[in-house]
Amino acid sequence: MQGLLKVSRIIDAINSQIGKKVAWLILLAVIVATVNALVRKIFNMSSNAWLELQWMLFGAVFLMCASWTLQVKEHIRIDILNSQLPKRVQQWIDLLGHLLFLLPFCALMVYHSWPFFWRSYAVNEQSLSAGGLPQWPAKGLLIVGFFMLFCQGISEVIKQIAIMRGLMEDEETLRGHAAAAEAEAQRLLDQAKAQGLAS
């Protein structure tokens, strides 16, 4: 199991580094959008390439940061029912969810995205809009993004099994924005209880 945990740590480190770097493309997308809007308003000029570059940059961030987002547990979760269940049941739900849904879905996406990308690359597919960008790089991002998410899913499965076997501390405590929201909710509950007792 220690060997698998080492693999998990390597996957986490790679996806974390890629995610942190790729996230900066959001700033580039904002700059491109701003310059494009200014040029259009001031000089009455526009370019389909600039417009397409914006959504390609956003697509790159969405796809290549998804694995990092999963790692830090920032994906949207519906915890209304799940939080009422025993911790052991929650752990089984997470484990089976990754094994039965996340990993097969990512594998299918990689499998079906490859010919989709390859056909586009083989003919150097271009945008249907005049002056647009080549389409195959965006299609290639599907393969990269879902492969990274698949690898992160494997890492999460390894960690979950280690936690359930008592080989690793449970880091399921929410982090990031989720942690802040959870702490604020608890503070409001405590405050409401205190006011209820006082009145």
Q: List the domain boundaries for the chain.
A: 2-174
- The model carries a pTM of 0.78
Question: What are 107-144's pLDDT values in tens digits?
Answer: 999 999 999 999 999 998 888 888 778 889 999 999 99
DSSP assignment, residue 168?
S
Residues 140-154, mean pLDDT to the nearest whole number: 95
Question: What are 11-27's pLDDT values in tens digits?
Answer: 999 999 999 999 999 99
CA distance 64 to 19: 6
DSSP character string of 113-138: HHHHHHHHHHTT-B-SSTT--BSHHH
Residues 57 and 32: beta-carbon distance below 8 Å: yes
Q: What percent of the chain has pLDDT over 70?
A: 87
Q: How far from 107 is each of 10, 12, 151, 161, CA to CA, in Å?
A: 20, 19, 10, 21
pLDDT of 154 over the 70 cut: yes
Average pLDDT, the chain: 85
